[in-house]
Amino acid sequence: MSTHPGVRRSAVIALSAGALLSVSALSAPAQAATAAPKGAPAATAAAAAPTVSAKGAFLLNNTSSATVYSKAADTRRQMASTTKIMTAAVVLSTKDVDLNRKVTVKQAYRDYVVKEGASTADLRTGDKVTVRQLLYGTMLPSGCDAAYALADTYGTGSTVAARTKSFIAKMNAKAKELKLTNTKFDSFDGISGGGNNYTTPRDLAKIAQYAMKNANFRAVVKATSYKATAPAANGGTRTYTWYNTNQLLGSYSGAIGIKTGTGTAAGPCLVFAATRGSKTLVGVILNGSDRYKDAAKILDHGFGASTAKTMKLRTLPSNAQRD
């Protein structure tokens, strides 16, 4: 297991450097899921599929669930911080969830990100933040402290450890409910001690598709930044400002989310969605050296566009988290 430096403003989530959980040693070639025109050779449609750097990729039509693009779609891989999509989805699917419920920040949440060298929402001990704010803190700066707070709040048990274990069990139960046979969680944020936190491009796209059904989730993941105030431990008011680590937002026309992830074993990951006209596409890049260009290329493929070549990425402020 690799060691991590102390928490820093530009920290990324690091995962254990275990072997990838792959059903095949070889990545399958990319395949376009469109049929060849009538009278054209059968290989025409497949030849139109773009080449991507990612070891695994998938794109689906959000309305019909039809596969638009696929590369090693059913090969299990670690998913890093894209795990937090399920974290947010479990919270938002809680019966009668109160997004204005106040949660007191524990020192344990800060200690955790320092110990792991993890990305952080920089939550301050004793501040009282709402569940809604914790969702933004989890999804925009990829705050592992915010994800920890959500797991601690929505798990059951008499100790923090018991509650977080209970919450992870809820994540796995949701995966089972969605009939995802190649997904397993051992973490609420993607930092996996045993390497038992994995999914496939196809499964992760289905998790994202499920999460995007929730209006509150959609509102969170499409925001490029978020500013919130909270009662501080000293009796004053603290202002939190978070920037979305997902640089596809504001860069690719129609992008509406969803989540970045980076880890030692997982590599750079991206779960994304975009809408143009009446069509919404949801996609996944796992372990891609050029994840944003990969996403743009397969979105272009799905939309019949050619904007990836000229896309310029939104620049993150120097003090923003990187994930």
- Residue numbers annotated as active site: 81, 84, 142
Alpha helices of 222-306 — where are they, by DSSP H? Answer: 291-303
Do residues 82 and 269 lie in contact, with contact meaning Cβ atoms separated by under 8 Å?
A: yes
Phi and psi at residue 236, in whole multiples of 5°?
A: -90, -160
Do residues 132 and 100 lie in contact, with contact meaning Cβ atoms separated by under 8 Å?
A: yes
* Gap between the Cα atoms of 124 and 139, Å rounded: 18
Question: Cα dist. 193→72, 152, 201, 264 in Å?
Answer: 25, 18, 22, 12
Do residues 320 and 259 lie in contact, with contact meaning Cβ atoms separated by under 8 Å?
A: no
Q: Any residues with CB less than 8 A from the CB of 250 and at least 6 apart, and which?
A: 224, 314
Which residue matches tokens 């750079």?
268
The crossing angle, in degrees rounded to 10, of helices 144-154 and 131-139 is: 140
* Gap between the Cα atoms of 22 and 19, Å rounded: 9
Structure tokens that stand for 137 in this block: 């803190």
Do residues 211 and 258 lie in contact, with contact meaning Cβ atoms separated by under 8 Å?
A: yes
3-state secondary structure (DSSP) of residue 147: helix
Do residues 190 and 79 lie in contact, with contact meaning Cβ atoms separated by under 8 Å?
A: yes
* Gap between the Cα atoms of 258 and 286, Å rounded: 14
* Gap between the Cα atoms of 198 and 187, Å rounded: 10
Do residues 58 and 73 lie in contact, with contact meaning Cβ atoms separated by under 8 Å?
A: yes
